[in-house]
């Protein structure tokens, strides 16, 4: 059955690509982007577990994105006046609390009749160990790691956002959902797409996948001078997807820096994708090999994604955060003649000292920044003696007290180390030891996950 035509044209603006992305794009898109929706992605894989750990250390940290209210305050009033709807996954561990806070902010700002919705569900921290599931990575039962589970949450689909919008929400605040669903949700609502139509679900997910990382579609994370130049990157404009019944057009904020080209779209299409023919999402499987692009104007690309869908799987992916001890890192700095030799001798000295203080580490790593700090063992051997070398040491330990031993060996190098040993951030107070929360994943049967939508 052919999809009914709506005659609508909907413009979605990518207001943020991750939790600590810039604030300006939201205001710029609201003022000059002629958009119907502002969509904020605030999550990476580690976001929920990191938030859970912060909450364990101090209850002064909110259970939602601490940037939620700072991001909403400057735009809430004008968005309501202009009818721009806001979709954000900044609800993190407690979207209901987040939605109540935004509703309270609206009252404080004198905004009348702002309807805020929360989409919750999918948090499985207390139940994941009892579901009889195994980790994908190791095949081992999650129940065996029960003592170390600090967080577990499934990736929800777009249905909750659609229900929230049908209920009249101006602002929709979700917990963990698949990032691209921040865009699929409003599109499915506006164009009345059935969740049984996998081609339409996939079309929405392709659009969302391209848009969810903010300016990575419009010139960010792209510039390679002399090979891929990007004009005025400092003022890069965030992307806009303009979707009608038959067309998908990708552009960016007008009069801004950056570039939207077939090349930027291709890079983002494959970004963090494994098998492009089988990208498994909550509401469908997407086949990215069926997607193509055509430049139709300056900073204007048409995307073709009408036949990219396959039926969904019976499970939803969940991430499980596990406490795995502590880690810390320190650096010592060298330059000039013999810099590399003095760095190497310092590694030798530290290894002796770690033995002497009986350091109990589960993992120790030495890097030579400037030589192999980034591509690690795949770095080519240096052709020339480097002018500068930074020796970095990183360790993982089961106990915090063992990790604390590292700085107690590094700081004394100021007087006990090699000639001309430079130091870094010596006046930074406190400890650089941090807890490790490892992420593993599993597949949860859909029927075990229940999502709810509430209004405030």
Which residues of this protein are in contact with another protein, per CB under 8 A? 44-46, 49, 137, 221-222, 224, 226-229, 262-263, 266-277, 288-293, 321, 324, 327, 329, 363, 365, 367, 369, 373-378, 380, 392, 394-396, 436-441
Task: Copy the structure tokens of residue 162.
Answer: 């659609």
**Residue-by-residue DSSP string for 356-413:** HTT---SEEEEEEETTTSSSGGGSPPPSS--SEEEEEEEEEESSHHHHHHHHHHHTTH
CB of residue 367 to another protein, shortest distance in Å: 5
How large is the angle between the packed helices 339-356 and 400-410, nearest 10 degrees? 140
Region of residue 368 (left: phi > 0; alpha: psi -120 to 50; beta: else): beta
Give the total residue count for the chain: 456
Nearest one of 449, 168, 185 to 314, comparing CA atoms: 449
Angle at CA 207, nearest 5°, toward 440 and 219? 90
Closer CB to another protein, 131 or 436, in the complex: 436
CB of residue 325 to another protein, shortest distance in Å: 10
Closer CB to another protein, 190 or 367, in the complex: 367
Closer CB to another protein, 369 or 448, in the complex: 369
CB of residue 223 to another protein, shortest distance in Å: 11
Helix (H, G, I), strand (E, B) or coil at 213: coil
Helix (H, G, I), strand (E, B) or coil at 313: coil
CA distance linking residue 446 with residue 247, whole number of Å: 32
Closer CB to another protein, 314 or 380, in the complex: 380
Closer CB to another protein, 175 or 323, in the complex: 323
CB of residue 447 to another protein, shortest distance in Å: 26
What b/e readout covers 172-189, taking b as 16+ CB neighbours within 10 angstroms? bbbbbbbbbbbbbbbbbb
Q: Is 225 exposed, middle or buried (0-12, 13-18, 19+ CB in 10 A)?
A: exposed
CB of residue 13 to another protein, shortest distance in Å: 22
Closer CB to another protein, 83 or 226, in the complex: 226
CB of residue 225 to another protein, shortest distance in Å: 9
Closer CB to another protein, 226 or 429, in the complex: 226
CB of residue 59 to another protein, shortest distance in Å: 23
CB of residue 163 to another protein, shortest distance in Å: 29
Give start and end residues of each alpha helix (H) in 37-141: 47-57, 68-72, 76-82, 95-108
CA distance linking residue 149 with residue 414, whole number of Å: 40
CB of residue 93 to another protein, shortest distance in Å: 17
Residue 82, CA distances (Å) to 75, 76, 78, 79 in order: 10, 10, 6, 5
Task: Copy the structure tokens of residue 406.
Answer: 């590292």
CB of residue 403 to another protein, shortest distance in Å: 12
Closer CB to another protein, 111 or 300, in the complex: 300
CA distance linking residue 426 with residue 405, whole number of Å: 16
Angle at CA 397, nearest 5°, toward 357 and 137? 155
Task: Copy the structure tokens of residue 435.
Answer: 């807890």
CB of residue 363 to another protein, shortest distance in Å: 6
C-beta of residue 161 within 8 angstroms of C-beta of residue 179: no
Closer CB to another protein, 256 or 268, in the complex: 268
Closer CB to another protein, 48 or 182, in the complex: 48
Closer CB to another protein, 10 or 273, in the complex: 273
């Amino acid at each position: 059955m052919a999809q009914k035509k709506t005659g609508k044209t909907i413009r979605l603006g990518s207001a943020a690509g991750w939790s600590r992305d810039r604030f300006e794009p939201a205001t710029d898109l609201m003022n000059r982007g002629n958009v119907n929706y502002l969509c904020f992605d605030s999550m990476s894989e580690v976001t929920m577990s990191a938030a859970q750990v912060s909450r364990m250390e101090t209850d002064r940290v909110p259970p939602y994105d601490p940037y939620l209210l700072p991001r909403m305050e400057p735009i809430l009033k004008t968005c309501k006046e202009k009818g721009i709807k806001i979709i954000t996954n900044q609800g993190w561990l407690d979207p209901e609390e987040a939605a109540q806070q935004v509703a309270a902010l609206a009252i404080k700002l004198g905004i009348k009749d702002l309807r805020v919705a929360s989409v919750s569900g999918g948090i499985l921290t207390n139940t994941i160990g009892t579901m009889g599931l195994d980790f994908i990575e190791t095949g081992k039962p999650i129940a065996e790691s029960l003592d170390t589970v600090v967080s577990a949450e499934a990736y929800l689909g777009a249905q909750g956002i659609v229900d929230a919008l049908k209920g009249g929400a101006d602002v929709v605040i979700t917990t963990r959902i698949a990032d691209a669903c921040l865009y699929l949700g409003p599109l499915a609502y506006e164009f009345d797409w059935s969740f049984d139509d996998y081609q339409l679900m996939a079309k929405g997910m392709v659009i969302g996948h391209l848009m969810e990382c903010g300016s990575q579609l419009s010139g960010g994370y792209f510039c390679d001078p002399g090979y891929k130049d990007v004009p005025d990157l400092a003022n890069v404009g965030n992307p806009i997807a303009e979707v009608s019944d038959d067309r998908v057009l990708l552009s960016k904020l007008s009069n801004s820096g950056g570039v939207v080209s077939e090349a930027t779209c291709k890079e983002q299409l494959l970004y963090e994708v494994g098998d492009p023919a089988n990208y498994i999402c909550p509401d469908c499987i997407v086949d990215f090999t069926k997607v193509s692009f055509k430049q139709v104007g300056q900073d204007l690309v048409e995307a073709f994604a009408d036949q990219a869908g396959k039926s969904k799987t019976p499970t939803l992916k969940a991430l499980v955060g596990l406490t795995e001890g502590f880690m810390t890192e320190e650096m010592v700095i060298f330059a000039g003649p013999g810099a590399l030799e003095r760095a190497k001798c310092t590694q030798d000295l530290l290894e002796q000292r770690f033995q002497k203080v009986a350091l109990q580490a589960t993992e120790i790593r030495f890097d030579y920044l400037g030589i192999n700090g980034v591509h690690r063992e795949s770095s080519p051997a240096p052709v020339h003696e480097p002018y500068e070398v930074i020796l970095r040491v990183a360790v993982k330990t089961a106990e915090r007290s063992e990790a604390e031993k590292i700085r107690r060996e590094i700081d004394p190098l100021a007087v006990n180390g090699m000639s001309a040993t430079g130091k870094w951030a010596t006046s930074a107070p406190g400890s650089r030891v941090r807890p490790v929360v490892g992420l593993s994943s599993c597949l949860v049967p859909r029927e075990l996950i229940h999502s709810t939508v509430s209004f405030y």
